[in-house]
Amino acid sequence: MRGAFGEILREWRGKRRFSQLDLSLAAETSARHVSFLESGRSNPSRAMVLKLSDALEMPKAVANQALTAAGYAAVFPSFPADADALAPIFAAVREMLANHAPLPGFAIDGHWNVIEANGPAAAMFGALGVDGAVNMIDVVLALGETDLMENWRETALLALARLRLENARCGGDPVLGGYIAKLAAHPRLAGDDADIDYARAVIPSVFNLNGERLCVFSTIAEFGTVQDVSASDVRIELMFPADATTREFFNRLKN
């Protein structure tokens, strides 16, 4: 068990590009102790496993693995999606999305699958030709084959950058890695991103839907204290108008 914990610790220290000294300072211990933990010469306390996992920003599922490898019980729960314990979380998601109407809003899981959407978002997905289960990277890829998004290339490049950041944060996920590979290989993304004007205050997504030119940008909300392994990855994406014409379009939906 000690060897298994040491392997996890060494792997994640490498993922975060920490030296043993870096990690010891972040976890308030000594580099010698970190070395002994990695080699299996010392066994960590439960508190030290949690300190190290926090310092390395391990996802909760990985922190559970580290605890188990060190001989302790996992601490972060993994409830089924319909568990009573998660009901207040998903009720909050639905309330936020409902209150955001007539503007589109949706919630996604850690793999960018849409798990909740308000009426305006569902209508937008329908106008984009998206039916059934929705994955936002699949939506971006599908839009790359149409002229429905005026600035598809820059929107896709920004999505790709976000995907890579999230994949790095979680230490490398095969599903996210697959989406990164698919999106990066799209022929419309050949070349660099020099044509993106990063100096703008916001870079909206520009849609041409049914004769309307809609410019929207998003804010992303996460839960700060949710401890469930899967629910902690839920993000709520709320769209806002980037210009007066788009605001007027959505305001008309109120009537």
Is residue 77 a part of any domain in this protein?
Answer: no
- 100 lies in the same domain as 208: yes
Pick from 105, 103, 95, 90: nearest CA to 236? 105
pLDDT of residue 131: 75
pLDDT of residue 1: 44
pLDDT digits (tens, 9 = 90+) for 134-184: 899 999 999 999 999 999 999 999 999 999 999 999 999 999 999 999 999
93 contact partners, CB below 8 Å, separation of at least 6: 107, 115, 116, 234, 236
CATH number for the domain including 15?
A: 1.10.260.40
Is residue 51 a part of any domain in this protein?
Answer: yes
Mean pLDDT across the stretch 10-27? 96
Model confidence pTM above 0.75: yes
The Cα 35–Cα 170 span in angstroms is 24
The reply to whether omega before 102 is within 30° of 0 (cis) is yes
Q: Cα dihedral sign for 146, 150, 153, 157? A: negative
pLDDT digits (tens, 9 = 90+) for 43-67: 999 999 999 999 999 999 999 999 9
Is residue 76 a part of any domain in this protein?
Answer: no
Element (H, E) at 114: strand 114-117
AA letter at 62: V
Q: DSSP state, 107?
A: E
- 93 lies in the same domain as 142: yes
Is residue 15 a part of any domain in this protein?
Answer: yes
* Domain final residue, candidates 69, 102, 123: 69
Residue 255 pLDDT greater than 80, yes or no: no
CATH number for the domain including 104?
A: 3.30.450
